[in-house]
């Protein structure tokens, strides 16, 4: 699941690792999402250690009587020198870089994390979560839009250039993955579900 909206999301400001709280809309989104995701019956709940993910996970945790476990590997991309910058300012000052970023090339951000690094760390966290999940049960994780996109692509074994084909994930939207009925690995069941 992606976290609920923050003031920075609403303003179009690059967040990355900056610890920004949910705004009132984000809390409302998380409150609507909690019971729906609880209906999937998660027995484990992990989340990024950033406040916007922890607070979103708390709404799900309340519905299923689970205390979310934080894992910094589920954090968003570090956006380096662009954290805190408005999207409009970024476009005006660095138009070619911003165009590449919007096309899915996050590696152009000065001082930011590389997609391969983010995909590897998010996928590793998800694999550990799956390994901790009892057979036949469901696990849930709350993370961040860009991190989820490359993490899911990495989990599914997609080449890095295909991650952007998943598109943007809305605030408090979620992805469902399932184990393959044949062979090892996961399959994509849904993308961008919302309450």
- Which residues are catalytic, by number? 3, 76
- The answer to whether the Cα torsion of 80, 46, 161, 190 is positive or negative is negative
Place of tokens 């709280």: 21
Q: How far is CA 20 from CA 45, 121, 148, in A?
A: 21, 21, 18
Q: Give the helix ranges, DSSP H, for 14-114.
A: 24-38, 51-64, 87-93, 95-102
CA atoms within 13 A on the CB side of 141: 29
- Which residue, 78, 84, 87, is CA-closest to 109? 78
Is 42 in contact with 117 (CB distance < 8 Å)? Answer: no
Contacts of 165 (CB under 8 A, 6+ apart): none
């Amino acid at each position: 699941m992606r976290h609920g909206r923050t003031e920075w999301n609403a303003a179009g400001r690059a967040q990355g690792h900056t610890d920004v709280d949910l705004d009132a809309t984000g809390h409302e989104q998380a409150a609507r999402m909690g019971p729906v995701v609880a209906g999937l019956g998660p027995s484990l709940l992990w989340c990024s250690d950033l406040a916007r993910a922890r607070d979103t996970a708390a709404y799900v945790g309340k519905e299923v009587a689970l205390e979310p476990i934080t894992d910094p590997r589920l954090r968003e991309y570090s956006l380096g020198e662009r954290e805190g910058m408005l999207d409009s300012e970024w476009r005006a000052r660095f138009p070619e870089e911003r165009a590449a970023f919007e096309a899915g090339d996050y590696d152009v951000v000065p001082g930011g994390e590389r997609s391969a690094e983010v995909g590897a760390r998010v996928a590793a966290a998800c694999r550990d979560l799956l390994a901790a999940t009892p057979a036949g049960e469901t696990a849930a994780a709350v993370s961040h839009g860009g991190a989820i996109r490359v993490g899911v692509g990495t989990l599914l074994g997609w080449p890095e250039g295909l991650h952007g084909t998943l598109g943007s994930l809305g605030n408090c939207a979620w992805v469902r993955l399932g184990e393959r009925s044949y062979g090892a690995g996961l399959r994509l069941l849904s993308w961008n579900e919302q309450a």
